A and B are shown apart, each in its own frame.
Chain A
Amino acid sequence: MTEVFLSLAIGVLYAAGLYLMMCRNIAKFIIGLGLIGHGANLLIFTAAGLSTQRAPIVPPGVTIPVVPIVDPLPQALILTAIVIGFGLMAFVLALFLSAHEVEGTDDLEKMRSTDQ
């Protein structure tokens, strides 16, 4: 059941993100990028399989964990992706800020000088 809810949440995040990315306003575009990033993280979490098994911690006195345990790798992947996404977001916002100062606009349609 949780899978269904999470899948819906992922769908909503992607849809909202893509919708915002199609706006002309750069600030909305950046929020859209962020939403899609979160959607991808949640997707990894869900696609790798949800379970209510034991945490993958080796109990004292033995050398291997007692099965069944939860696969810890997806969470490590997501953690890495979140950190990278945070760095990216910080850079994109800084870039937006300086572009806004130089251009005086946040409208993508008006930033056409490099296209022609």
Chain B
Amino acid sequence: MNLLLPAPLLIPLLCAILSLLGRRAVGVQRFLAVSGCCLNLVVSACLLYVVDNEGIQVMQAGSWPAPFGISLVVDRLSAIMLTLSGLMGATVAVFSLAAMDQSRQEFGFYFFYHTLLMGVNGSFLTGDLFNLYVWFEVMLMSSFALMSLGSERAQLEGGIKYVALNVLSTAFFLAALGVLYGMTGTLNMAHLATIVRSAGEQGMLTTVSLLFMVAFGIKSAAFPLFFWLPASYHTPPTPVSAIFAGLLTKVGVYALIRLFTLVFVQDAEFTHRILLVASGLTMLTGVLGAAAQMEMRRILSFHIVSQVGYMIMGLGLFTPLALAGSVFYIIHHVIVKTNLFLVAGVIAFRTGTNELKALGGFVRAMPWLALLFLIPAMSLAGLPPLSGFFAKLMLIVASFRESSWVIAVTALAVGFLTLYSMTKIWNEVFWKPMPAAIDEAIAQRLWTIRERVCLFGPVMALAACTVLIGFCVEPVFALSERTAGQLLDPDEYIRAVLTGSVRP
């Protein structure tokens, strides 16, 4: 069993090393990317099954006992995030076989792809705050490299904005870590949780928690620190955008949820209220920013910002149903958002552009693609019976139960505006007549079988997930509720890490 726990780290690490060794053999790297990521998905899903049935799994690295060594901990939230990261890793790897250009593939794309996944998985696995910082850095360094790989002008410009704010956020994170260590003398999250619950100096703790909130707020692109995201996510090649859109901001959201349910609950009235206000503003600014855009990936990038608002909203409300809503929303959002970026990638692959003005007529040229766009787009806007409807429903019901009318109305209004953005893409890209230039571009190039499989396979798989979650909502809902229960009752987590036993 203990072998399963570090596997989500070891598999990408091994693949990265092998890709580096075989850097002249792109075929080997492509094989490694797909097989490694699929193996990772299988392992993560097994881990989720084990954790859900047998309780929190802990491994002490190097057998150092808990507060001294680094603990790897998987509870339900971590296991869900790992499974999502495995799923996104596998689908985007298949997609990039066809969509990634040859020169980038030869220049180490797959190596950085594996290290990125390793950083993401490490952040989900670790139970130690400083170790979380290190995994953040692993993830960031790989994402910097992926962002600027190819050195096109837009990429470099977007890259500078992306790098600048993310480096600043890690500096805040590091400073907050230092102060917190000075106050408590530990960095193990479970140990921190016990100390914070018995500590006297609540005022200083709240101050430090706000510093953490700023650091993770930048990472998760929450209001008012989101500007780096829409300025950079549309610049790299689509597979890179898609994996970034699916996973990176969610690591920030995960860190927020972890710290503000396990450690910093001493002043929940104050801190979680700030989170709630920030979430409402995040939703609004994101969706309004999207309304002004006329490029597919830019619109979708702004919608990442607005959707992050929903995830933080559940944390801000801080009730069991609201937290379950956040977890459900993350599951729904990661799948749907990656899917939409992949659809944008198929269109860019066919036509070379994602500008709404230049596109058109895809409903006739590629009716299947139109259907495959509609599923995630309608889900994103929250139309029943797709996954997004139930995610929004949970959050809005939770906010009504707390009598938080303002946030409930905001969430509803943002849902409508999301629908507006999706209809805009539908009208411009699919419905209006096809411009002559695009018609020629499509007619000139024929699909190969491999392109069809690699491009449409992942899109169809993710769309199927969306529909499946929509029609079999009960098990996912129950899993989210169990996850929220575990988050709100941190005794099991603390006991599992510090004493090594799941049962009381």
Contact = CB atoms under 8 A, between A and B. Distances in A.
Nearest to A88: B167
B232 A43 contact: no
A3 to B, nearest CB: 11
A99 B178 contact: no
A81 B174 CA distance: 8
Given A87-B141, A91-B141, A114-B158, A33 B167 contact: yes
A91 B170 CA distance: 15
Contacts of B153: 102-103, 113
Nearest to B137: A84
A95 B174 contact: no
Contacts, number: 103
A48 interface: yes
Interface residues of B, number: 38
Secondary structure at the B interface, as helix, strand, loop or mixed, is: helix
Contact of B156 (A44, A77, A88, A99): A99
Nearest to A45: B178
A73 B168 CA distance: 24
B151 A40 contact: no
A39 B175 contact: yes
A47 B178 contact: yes
B154 interface: yes
Interface residues of A, number: 38
Contacts of B383: none
A4 B229 CA distance: 39
Given A33-B164, A95-B148, A111-B157, A77 B179 contact: no
Contacts of A92: 163, 167
Contacts of A74: 178, 181
9 contacts: A33-B167, A36-B171, A48-B182, A74-B178, A77-B130, A88-B140, A91-B144, A102-B156, A111-B160
Interface of B: 130, 133-134, 137, 140-141, 144-145, 148, 151, 153-154, 156-161, 163-164, 167-168, 170-171, 174-175, 177-179, 181-183, 185, 187, 231-232, 234-235
**5 cross-chain pairs, A with B, having the tightest CB-CB distances, nearest first:** A47-B182, A44-B178, A99-B156, A40-B174, A40-B175
Interface of A: 21, 26, 29, 33, 36-37, 39-41, 43-49, 71, 73-74, 77, 80-81, 84, 87-88, 91-92, 95-96, 98-99, 102-103, 108, 111, 113-115
